[in-house]
A = this chain, B = another copy of it.
């Protein structure tokens, strides 16, 4: 059930279920999964700020300090929540599938996950992927790029590109959606108001590129998913160009 006791950081071992249940002492009344699930449920229902240790504890019917028998710090709990809520990645590259649809699906999966659980965007990234689902996502992302001739660091940079863009995009749209919900209006109205504010503020100054943008006015009724696809396709185009270069002159 669990691997050898490696010199892993406590929180990582915890996330991977590598901490042996002690034999002495009373049985635990909860499991780590329950704690994490309670945290996720609160975050999803009431937003990340509602997730306090005492709130999670009361949700589970235990005292606040009991949680610290399961989790070293609150931040570790948040990391676990994100890892669990992200869930498993979308299906990996099929045997006869090209790298591009696979990486595209991977990117879409990123936004989908972030959109489904928008509170996740407020949990600060704590470092490179190390928790179980994060590593699974990493695996599938890299798998999409196997055999493309890209070097190791290039494959990593490529998936960072996609996931970073997905995160930016999901964050922006979620911020707008929340602003809309808060003011009882629609995302379109929030977007419109933003452009109006921008117009007002830049009117007296030298902002030719912004004014040109506003003059086109086409962005008011844009399909946001189209805009996201545009950026994703540009990334994939760039990666494709690199792969072709590598194919033409393979690195030794």
Interface on A for B, CB 8 Å cutoff?
A: 3, 6, 8-9, 12, 16, 122, 124-128, 130, 135, 138-140, 142-143, 145-146, 151-158, 160-161, 163-165, 167-169, 171-172, 175-176, 179, 194, 197-198, 200-204, 207-210, 212-213, 216-219, 222, 226-228, 230-231, 233-239, 241-242
Residues of B within 8 A of A6 (CB): 200
Residues of B within 8 A of A197 (CB): 8-9, 12, 130
Give 6 A-B contacts (CB < 8 Å), ordered by A residue. A16-B201, A127-B179, A139-B208, A139-B210, A160-B168, A233-B238
Q: Which residue of B lies closest to A4 (CB)?
A: B200
Is there contact, CB below 8 Å, between A171 and B210?
A: no
Residues of B within 8 A of A8 (CB): 197, 200-201
**A62 CB to nearest B CB, Å:** 28
Q: A12-B197, A161-B165 are in contact. Are A213 and B155 (CB under 8 A)?
A: yes
Residues of B within 8 A of A222 (CB): 153
Q: Which residue of B lies closest to A144 (CB)?
A: B209
Among the listed B138, B160, B202, B218, which residue makes an inter-chain contact with A152, where contact means beta carbons less than 8 Å apart? B218
Among the listed B16, B130, B207, which residue makes an inter-chain contact with A139, where contact means beta carbons less than 8 Å apart? B207
